[in-house]
Structures are given as structure tokens and as C-alpha cells.
Structure 1
Amino acid sequence: MDKHNWKLKLTLLLVSSLTIMSVITISPALPRMASAFSGVTNATFLVKLVLTIPALMIAVFSPITGRLIDKHGRLKILWFSLVLYALCGSAGYFLNNLYHILISRALLGVAVGMSMTIVITLIADYFEGLERQKFVGLQIAFMSIGGIVFIGLGGILSDLGWRYPFLIYLSSLVVLPFSIAYLYKPTVIKKGNEATPFIKAPPIIWMLFINTMLMWIIFFLIPVQIPFYLKTLGVEKNALVGAAIATSTAFSAISSFAYSKIKSRFSFLTIFSMGYLLMALGFICVFFSSSFVMVVVAMMLSGFGMGMMIPNTNMWVMKIAPPAIRGKEIGKLTTFWFLGQFLSPIVIFPVLNVLSVSATFMLASGFLFLMSITFLVFHSTATGKLITQ
């Protein structure tokens, strides 16, 4: 592994970048897409589901993938997922029926549910200790950078037409040969271990799963609602919409890249508290914003907070999940991650029928402050053994 270590790491990072682009790439195109299908009943809501329905399928198929890879290995399932990703992701460019596009996006979610579960599991398989901690932060940073590139490109392409961003999904075919050439079968997998069904992860892992879901329900207000909010502020250029959302991913990359240093100074619980506080401040800025610049500042704060919490979650789950059931537990993590993304517009939809978008962000900021305080209290009362498990 040493000789080709950088190639293996680059391949893992490339596969990871496909995960983040799977959902947000078409975000800047949503308003134009809603206009194109304005004749369809509940078009605006359905178009938002086009953005998030992959998350539902990721949530459904991730635990299935986790169990499969624990029994049958990682790589062949990964290769299949990359091909499926390209076919179903690009389908939106060719389809003319909104419901057919929803189906293709659902199948895209199946592909991502496979690839994301596998790549996180492979990271846990290949690396240990400080090297794993550093790479987990690097992975989320790279995903965020990929998000900047893809959502920026999506914004530019959506100015040409709402269909063009769907072609970006063909990039998985570029990643496929790298995964075949440089990834190898981990040696930690032990098939036929009859004791495996009796191995369990510590109960605290369920707190991490539920927290992940809540995190994404709130954070996904940004790619789903900000494009429409910016339109109300008079921002017409989709490239600017993409740039605003990409700002959140840029600052997410910064904090994720620094995660190893942050973790060396703070506990898992303290990092969650700080992350939620920064997100709360960002959402308050959205409420008070009256210009594009103010929204960008809000994206900076929100992205920085989220960027430290994602690797924090992944690292903690990797640390406490027993190797024999690692795929299954990471599959559960992926499920709750994307279940939160899918549920976001559904949970927020009735709120938006009562409150404005800006007021909705203010309400969300109150919840984020509460989460920040909760983790701070948890930190002050939790035992050292619990924190370091």
C-alpha cells in the first residue's frame, strides 16, 4: 500500500466527491425547472423532491449495502454503483416527464447509498489512529471542495438550461477506472464468522445516528430554500445562486480540513456544540439579510459549523463500531445522514405555509442554539469513559 498510497487516497477522495454532488449539483436549476413544469400539479414541491429524493433511497439502501459488503466484500458493489450513478444521474437531461425524472433520481440514490457506505467503510478499513483522523477530515474537505466545483458548474450550466447540470453525473465514469486500478480488498474482513451477529456497537452510536439526521434536516434548508430566497432579494443569475451555496461548502471544507487539529484540542461533544452554535449564527444572518452579501456571510458561518460536525460524526462512529460489523454500522450512519436530507423539505413545507423563508431560518436558528446548549450540558455531565469510547 505504501508505494501507491497517494493513488489509493486520491481514489477514495474522488469517490467521496461524487456523494456530495449527487444531491446539490442541480440546486441552482430548481427555479427554472419549476417554471418548466409549472403545468404539473404541485410542481414547486415536486421539483424540490427531485433534489432530495436520492437522499431517501440512499437512506433505504445504505443499511442493505452495509450488510452485503460485510458478507461479500466492497469493490464489485462499488464498481456497479459507479456505473449506475452515471446512467441514472444523467437521465434528467434526456427525460421530459417530471415523474420519470423523479424515478431516475431515486435510482441515483440507490447508487450513492452503495458508494458512500463503501467509501466510508474502506477508510475505516485502510487507516487507523491519527492517520484515520486526518484522512476523515481531508475526505469531508475534499467533498466540500467537490461541492464547490460541481455546484458552481451547475449554476453556470443552469443559466444555459435547467437540463445541462444533469450531464455532470457522467463524471463517475472517470472515477471508475481509478477504483478498479488502485483500491484493494481489505484484509480485515472475515467471512463466515458465526459470532458476528452477536457483536453490537455501544448504545451511544444511536445518539450519533439521530443527531446526524437532525443536522441534515436543518442544514439542507440551504440548498433547498436559499435559491428561492435569493430570488426574492432580486438575485436573478443562477451562477450567483450557485456561488452563494458553494460558499457554505467552501467554508465547510476549511473547517473539515482543520478537523484533526480541532479534535486534538476539543472533545467530540464540544465540537458538536461549537458547530451548532456557528450554524445558529449563520441562520440568524439569513433572517436579517437584505442583500446577497449578507446571505454569503450567513453561508460562511453555517458551512464552517457543519464542516466540523460531519467528520466529527464519522470519526466517532468509526472509532466505536466493531470491525466485524463496521459496514452495517456505517450503513446505518449513511441512512440517517440522507434521511435527514430527504425529510428536510417535507418537514419544512408546512412551516413555509405559515412563515416566510426568512422567518423559517430564524425558527431553525432557535433549534440550533438549543442543540448547541444540549451538547455543552452533555459534555459537562458525561463521563470520560463515554467520551473516549
Structure 2
Amino acid sequence: MSNSETAVPWDSPTVQAILASTLVLPLGVPLLSPVLTVIRDAFGITDAQTSLLITAYFVPGIVLSPVIGMLADRYGRRRVIIPSLFAFGLTGGLAAFATDFGTVLVLRLFQGTASAGVFILTVTFISDVFEGIQRNAVLGINAAVLFAGAAIYPFVGGALAAIDWHVPFLVYLIAIPVGLFAIRALEEPPSVRPKTGPSYLRGAIDALPVREAGALYGATFVLEAVAFGTILTALPFVLTAEFRVAPVIIGTVLTIETIASVKNGALARRWSNHRLVALSFLCYGVGLVVVWAGSSVGSITVGAAVVGVGFGLALPSIDAAIGRIAPPEYRAGALSIRNGTTFLGRSAGPIAYTSLAIGFGYSALLLASGVLTLAIGAVTVVVTDAESHLDAESVPR
């Protein structure tokens, strides 16, 4: 296998436009997180009301992702991603001029819808244009860009919020020049147009291997829910109470996720996407048990970093696997279901863990999550080994 078959074509206008679009996405929540208390004080609202700015952003992705995927399969990738970029920038920028909280909230709903369009179509474009291990490599870089933005933007949001709560919203306008670049750089991948409506849904379901697709979507939900419930929700509460260093740990995890994603293409040369997903679960299990047992910031950081490795490996591997099994004419729809599942996991995880902590405590939840994910990873390794053995025996000698 030559290096050209696995290398990321950095000079490709498609790659450049997709990575620029992906870099816009983390602006949605990480940029705004440090601004929430400033917005709360500016409008004189409660913490619960302020949190609706995050909920309103995620809900459209859960509900509308399949519709967005269907539109992209029917009318083309460019006709969805380019308007989505413009809408993301405009709705975010307009919020800077809002005079009441209700208007900001409505704009966040529209921005969340546009974000889902960009999120789905970036990975769909990559799956359309690239194949095999090169698809893993480009998806890995794409995920690394996403994680890197999530690590950097909170500092940007916090700095701008010190000026005024309106200012961070102006950063969203950067999506508009990215959209203009996408008009010039992105070419529509060749694809077959399926039928819309119920015929499309039936065709999409029939086109996917149910068992494999169900396992990939299920893995997405579990990995997202556990990561956002433990590392990004439960752990900050624990560390803030005991050590007051939660932001340091979260920054470390995001950095590790970035590095792991970059290495996805290289790892895909040795292992299948299914094996990499199994490895993600094993990393979660080991990391969470270490976090549970950790008695110092250093040991807890090591455990959280191992979870970060698992999270960084999972996203590009799952996207590559779905891109492989989904026919081109239904690929956006298949990846849109993954996007909806992702947003659902990210929304459900924090709610579930904070609710269960009332009765069980965060320590017990960290241990239970570690044991559960370790068991899932071990079973998945056994299953993938068995399937690989059967595939090898079925090859004519």
C-alpha cells in the first residue's frame, strides 16, 4: 500500500473547504460556554433559563438530522452545506444585536439546525470523495480539527465576554467567508438520486445492513453519552469540589482526543474500523476505572486522557464504517442518523448522570461506567475476531 493511498491531500480544495467548515462547528457551544453567566446577568434570568441556549442548539440536530440527510441525498451536498454555513453565520451574528433573551433563543434554534447541516455534510463529503484507509485518514484529521476548535474556543469566548456579552456572537460571522470559499472549492460528488418521503426512508433502511448499522449507531450513543456524562459533566463537579482544577483536566482530554484522531488513518492500516471502535470502548473502561481509583490530580488526568484516546478514535472510525456500508445515494441519510444519535447522546448523558448522582454519587457512576464499557469492548473484540476468522475461512484457497 503506497503512502499516496493513505496520505491526506492537503492541497485539495475539497479538503481545505471541509476542514474550514469543520473548524466553524465548535463555535456553537464551546465559544458560548464561558459567556453563559454574563448573558444570565445581562438579562436577569435563572441558570436553568440560560442553559436553554445550549439545549436549543442541540435539539434541532436530534429531530431534523434525518430530514437534512434526505435533502442532501435528494438535492445534492452543496445545496445543503453552503446555505447551512451562511445560516450558521447569520443567525449567530444577529444574536449580537438582540435586545431580549427570547430572540437570542430563537436564533439559537435556527443556528442549531444549520449546524446539523454542516456537521452531516462535512463527513458525507469525505465519505463520498475518499475510500478505504484514506477515508479514515481524512476523517481523523477532520475530527482532530473539531476537537482542537473545542479546546481553543472557550478561551476566545471568555476573553471576548470580558468586553461585552454581545461580542462573542460576532465571531459566528466567520462562517460567511467560509461559505463563500465552499462555493468555489466544493464540487458535487456524483451520486444517484433516490426517491423522497416514505420511499426514501424505506430505501435507506433496506440499503443498510441492519445489524452492523444498528451496532454502529448504538456505539455512537453509548460513547457520546458516557463521555459527556462522565468526563465533561460528572468529573468537573468532582474535581472542582476537591481540587478546583476541572478546566485543566478537560483541556487535557480535548488535546488527547485531537492527537488520537490524527492517528486514526495510521491505525486503520493495521485494524478494521470495528476493531478501532472496540478499542475505544476498552480505552473508556480502563480510563474510567483509573479515574474512579485516582487519588490525585495526576492519576485522574491519566485516566481521563485514556478516555480521550478512546473518544478520539471512535468518531472517525464510526463515520468511516458507516460511509463504507451506506450506498452513495443514501450516505447523507445514514450519516445524518449518526449525527442525530450523537446529539442525543450528548444531551442525554449529562442529564442521566446528574440525575443518577443524587441517589448513587458520582464515584459509583464512574466505576459502573468503566466496568460497563470495558465489558462492551471485550465482547466486541471477541465478536470481531470471530467474524474475521469466518471471513478468512470463506475465502477460496
Q: Do Structure 1 and Structure 2 share a fold, with TM-score over 0.5?
A: yes
TM-score (norm 2): 0.82
**Alignment match of 1:232 (pick from 238, 241, 250):** 241
1:327, CA displacement in angstroms? 1.6
| 1:214 maps to 2:217 | no
Q: What residue ranges of structure 1 are gaps of 5+ in the alignment?
A: none
- Report SS of the residue matched to 2:359: coil
Structure 2 equivalent of residue 337 of structure 1: 342
Distance in structure 1 (CA, Å) of the matches to 2:295 and 2:170: 34
The structure-2 alpha-carbon separation of the partners of 1:310 and 1:255, relative to structure 1 and needing over 3 Å to count, comes to: same
Contact 2:194-2:329 at 8 Å conserved across structures: no
| 1:205 maps to 2:208 | no
Alignment of 1:137-156 (within 5 A): 137-156=140-159
Q: 1:306 is matched by which residue type in structure 2?
A: F
Structure 1 equivalent of residue 5 of structure 2: none
1:385, CA displacement in angstroms? 6.8
Structure 2 equivalent of residue 258 of structure 1: 263
- Report SS of the residue matched to 2:12: helix
**Alignment match of 2:24 (pick from 18, 21, 32):** 18
Contact 2:282-2:374 at 8 Å conserved across structures: yes
- Report SS of the residue matched to 1:24: coil
1:57, CA displacement in angstroms? 1.2
Identity %: 23
Distance in structure 2 (CA, Å) of the matches to 1:191 and 1:205: 20
| 1:325 maps to 2:330 | yes
- Report which stretch shifted further, 356-365 or 366-375: 356-365
| 1:367 maps to 2:372 | yes
The structure-2 alpha-carbon separation of the partners of 1:168 and 1:252, relative to structure 1 and needing over 3 Å to count, comes to: same
**Alignment match of 1:246 (pick from 230, 248, 251):** 251
Distance in structure 2 (CA, Å) of the matches to 1:372 and 1:47: 37
Distance in structure 2 (CA, Å) of the matches to 1:98 and 1:353: 31
Distance in structure 2 (CA, Å) of the matches to 1:95 and 1:287: 44
Q: 1:211 is matched by which residue type in structure 2?
A: A
Residue deviations 1:187-211, cap 9 Å, x none?
Answer: 2344679x97645111111211121
Residue deviations 1:78-125, cap 9 Å, x none?
Answer: 122112212333566555765654433332220111111111111122
Residue deviations 1:201-223, cap 9 Å, x none?
Answer: 11111211121111111111333
The structure-2 alpha-carbon separation of the partners of 1:357 and 1:16, relative to structure 1 and needing over 3 Å to count, comes to: same
- Report which stretch shifted further, 26-35 or 373-382: 26-35
| 1:171 maps to 2:174 | yes
Q: 2:29 is matched by which residue type in structure 1?
A: V
Alignment of 1:68-107 (within 5 A): 68-90=71-93, 93=96, 100-107=103-110
1:247, CA displacement in angstroms? 2.1
1:241, CA displacement in angstroms? 5.2
The structure-2 alpha-carbon separation of the partners of 1:155 and 1:243, relative to structure 1 and needing over 3 Å to count, comes to: farther
1:342, CA displacement in angstroms? 1.6
- Report SS of the residue matched to 1:25: coil
1:310, CA displacement in angstroms? 0.8
Contact 2:53-2:105 at 8 Å conserved across structures: yes
Contact 2:234-2:354 at 8 Å conserved across structures: no
Contact 2:133-2:269 at 8 Å conserved across structures: no
The structure-2 alpha-carbon separation of the partners of 1:362 and 1:53, relative to structure 1 and needing over 3 Å to count, comes to: farther
Distance in structure 1 (CA, Å) of the matches to 2:263 and 2:357: 36
Q: 1:7 is matched by which residue type in structure 2?
A: P
TM-score (norm 1): 0.84
Alignment of 1:274-285 (within 5 A): 274-285=279-290
Distance in structure 1 (CA, Å) of the matches to 2:36 and 2:296: 21
- Report which stretch shifted further, 327-336 or 80-89: 80-89
State the number of aligned residues.
Answer: 379
Aligned CA-pair RMSD: 3.3
Q: 1:377 is matched by which residue type in structure 2?
A: V
